[in-house]
Structure formats: structure tokens, C-alpha cells
Amino acid sequence: MQKTNVDELIKRLPEGYEQACFEKKAIELVREIKTPLDLIRLLLIYLTGGHSQLEMSVIASQLGIANISDVAFLKKFAKCKDWLAWIVSRIVPKPIVEYDYPKGLEGFTIAAIDGSDVTEKGRSKRVFRLHYAIDIMKMCCLSFKLTTQKTGETLLNFNVQENWLILADRAYGTLTGIEHCLNAGANFVIRLRYGAFKLYDHNGVEINLLKKLQNVTSDMASGFDVYVKLSTGLTKLRICATKIPNDKLEALEKRNKRKASRKQRSSSEEALLMTQYVVLITALPYKISANEITSLYRFRWQVEIYFKRLKSIIDFGNVPLRREDSIFTWLNGKLLVALLIEQMIGEVSFFP
């Protein structure tokens, strides 16, 4: 067997991947492709090399793996969906870096969470969604889930662990998500959108959030207590807020108008006022100041940068297939490549 450029990735596959190949029925009848090693080698070449199915037919023959047509390869690729999902779920992430924790946050796993859409090429333009959590202090994967667009962005998509500190944008600001975190023993810093849910004072009287924000400036973050109604009753949380500087408001307003025009819907005056502030809700103690919390939230952009790398370098967003099972195989395979490369980077020490 010739050595290929994916052999370094194969070395890092989890134990038991060969047996799982048969259990997940990626190989049922030993005809063209006879072993899990041969199959995973072909899959990784296809996922990393930018080859067509016809080229993979030639490569399989040149490597002495099998004489297989492009159609037969594509059918075999589709059957690997569950096998690749099994492999990806058992990849143990390795820290790429070890950043110093912000004061008071030692002991937390700081997880930036977000979702990214992948649109199928062609007429149907089906949308698939990657829900992803990255440890921003170690720059490695914590959790992920692949779904269709029917599954919305919610914290319930993640198996939240004790002592996680979740950073998430407005899409995740729901009472069910907050309760999901608290029940798991986790904490959170989540940005609020206008009217996400009702806020109360300690007497259970509803708070007008916009009135509370009138004295908030861009010079220093402000904070105050609020209460929310969860299944366990009235629960005390904190609001930390800062106003967006005036020199950035004009660009923000233009962006909001473009977004409203694109989605063909208008926002209320109150909702537009809310966009002038960064309003965060958290259960972190007061020993961590409002300024420190708003500064911490800015690190959430690391997950956005990760998506950009995944799509531009790993080619995650370019789905050349049509069948849904093939698309999920492709997306799981691209994630497998990304996670195995993470492992390789975590094994060496160099200036990033």
C-alpha cells in the first residue's frame, strides 16, 4: 500500500474505529473495499483533496484499494454517515494553547457557543446547521451537533457540563436555555434582545428594561439585579450593560436597516433603541465586575472566527453532494478532519 498524505490523520483515529465500521454498516459485504483502513483512507483523501467522485475512482485503483466506479464510490460514501458520526463523537480534543484566565474565572471552562449554516448548492438550497462550542482558553472543540435548519439555535442543543461558563449571543437568550445551564451547574453570559422574556424586581413587579438603561453610558458598564420566573420560581440574576459608542452607532443603524430590508420586516422603536446597548444577563457573582463581564463577552467572537476558518480552509461550507445522507457524511467528515488537525497542532509547540 502506498503512503498517502492522510496517514498522519489516520494515526489519530479513536480506538475501535475499525470494528465500528462493520457495526455501523459502512462495510457490509466485502467486495470492492475490503477493510476499514482502506475505506477511511479513501474518505479522508476525498474530504481533504478536493477531488471529484470520478477522480476518486482512479485514486482507489492507483492505491490498489479497489476497482470501483464513481457511482459506486458515492453510494459507499453515503453509507458512511453513521460511522463517521461515531468516529467524530469519540475524538478527544487536545488544547492548542493555554491562555491565562481572567481574574476570578479560574476553574471555569469558558465556552463560546454559536451556530453556522451551510446551504446546499443547486435548486433546493437546503440548509444544514452546525451548533458548536469552543473552549476559548484552550482553542479546542467542546461540543457540537449537526442538524437541519428545522433545529433552532438553543442551548438545549448542547450537553452543558458543570462549571462551564457559556458566552452566547441573542439567539440563545431564552428562559429554557438559562434554566438548562443552571440545572447543569453551569454559568452564562448571554446577550439579550428586546422582549426576550420578562424581568422582575425582588417583589415580582415587572421591570421596564429600557428605562433602566437610560443612564447607561459607553464609558463604564453598569449592572443591576433582576429576577426571572423559572420552573423553580423567581430566580435572581444580573444585568450588565454598556452603551455602544456614538461613533459606532451610525454604522450600526445602517447595518440594522440593511438587515431589515433583506428580511423584509421592520423593528419596533423599542427594539431599535435596545440595539444601541450591549445588554448581558448572567448569574456570575458580584466579585466579577460589570466591566469585566462585558469585556469577557467580547471573546465570544472566537467561535465566529472558528467558523470562518472551517469554511475557508477546511471547505466545510462547500457541499458538492445532493442526497441528505451524503451531505451529513460530508459535514461529519469535514469536522473529523478539523478535529484531527486540532490534535496534531496540540501535539507541537510553535508560535501560532
Provide mean pLDDT across the span 292-299: 95
- CATH code for the structural domain at 109-307: 3.90.350.10
Q: What is the mean pLDDT of the chain?
A: 90
**Looking at residue 199, what is its pLDDT?**
96
Total residue count of the chain as it appears in this document: 352
pLDDT band per the 50, 70, 90 thresholds, residue 115: very high
* pTM of the entire predicted model: 0.89
List beta partners, residue 277. Answer: 243
More confident residue, 155 or 262: 155
145 pLDDT more than 90: yes
Tell me the per-residue pLDDT of 87-107, one tens digit each, with 9 for 90 and over: 999 998 888 888 899 889 999
Using the 8-state DSSP alphabet, how is residue 157 labeled?
A: G
Tell me the per-residue pLDDT of 242-278, one tens digit each, with 9 for 90 and over: 998 888 877 777 777 777 666 666 667 888 888 889 9
CA distance 6 to 14: 15
End-to-end CA distance of the chain: 34
1 pLDDT more than 70: no
What are the start-end ranges of the E strands in the chain?
A: 109-119, 127-135, 140-148, 164-168, 187-191, 222-230, 233-243, 277-282
Domain ranges of the chain: 7-90+321-346, 109-307
Tell me the per-residue pLDDT of 170-214, one tens digit each, with 9 for 90 and over: 999 999 999 999 999 999 999 999 999 999 999 999 999 999 998
352 pLDDT more than 70: no
| Nearest-10 crossing angle of helices 324-346, 70-78 | 80
Q: 3-state SS of 202-225?
A: CCCCECCHHHHHCCCCCCCCEEEE
Find, among 303, 301, 300, 335, the residue nearest to 317 by Cα: 335
